[in-house]
Chains A and B, each alone.
Chain A
Amino acid sequence: AQSVTQLGSHVSVSEGALVLLRCNYSSSVPPYLFWYVQYPNQGLQLLLKYTSAATLVKGINGFEAEFKKSETSFHLTKPSAHMSDAAEYFCAVSVSGANSKLTFGKGITLSVRP
């Protein structure tokens, strides 16, 4: 069975600082990996996804993630945090190629300090 691990529950950065949200996956077959963001009182929105093409994936709002098979990681980064980035971030994995088999991590809250 596949799974993702997001260590910690909360990350706080200053506005303009680097954002790094960690995600490690476990899968016996090549995975599809995703990052979703959830703003308060909203549904989830797809930031980016890895589906076995380029290992460096660029998403919306200046976010990107790099698939590293040797480290079983798919960390999310953004060079410069903005106040509007404050939200809950979920890493997710699917190995069957189906949204119906998407497994979410527990999520991590990003706070941005002025």
Chain B
Amino acid sequence: DTEVTQTPKHLVMGMTNKKSLKCEQHMGHRAMYWYKQKAKKPPELMFVYSYEKLSINESVPSRFSPECPNSSLLNLHLHALQPEDSALYLCASSQGSGVEKLFFGSGTQLSVL
């Protein structure tokens, strides 16, 4: 299994809603990442978990809350988002935290109304 699975594929939410994005991998990877990608733009790193501990937070607003319940799962909890948060949210994983190959999921397309 060489896949990173993200659910849901599409999500529409209001500014007062609370929702969560889920990411799962079963490759034994110990580093997991959240990226945000606006249309026609490169991905922007949001968070990095290494060995289930948050190692990097790229000054992301607190309305985004990551969680790594175990080595295979990564969640992104969303609360009180703004319309400008609408984007493709990509999860990725790698064997370690070096320059090993990044495996990306297909993403969750989020629309905030």
Contacts and interface: CB of A to CB of B under 8 A. Distances in A.
A24 B40 CA distance: 20
A32 B100 CA distance: 11
A41 B31 contact: no
A94 B41 CA distance: 18
B104 A97 contact: no
Interface string A30-64: 00101010000111111001010000000000000
Contact of A99 (B42, B100, B106): B100
B27 interface: no
Given A97-B98, A100-B97, A104-B43, A44 B90 contact: yes
Contacts of A104: 42-43
Interface string A78-114: 0000000000001000100111101011110000000
A47 to B, nearest CB: 11
A100 B90 contact: no
B42 A107 contact: yes
Interface of B: 4, 31, 33, 40-43, 45, 48, 55-56, 90-92, 94, 97-102, 104-107
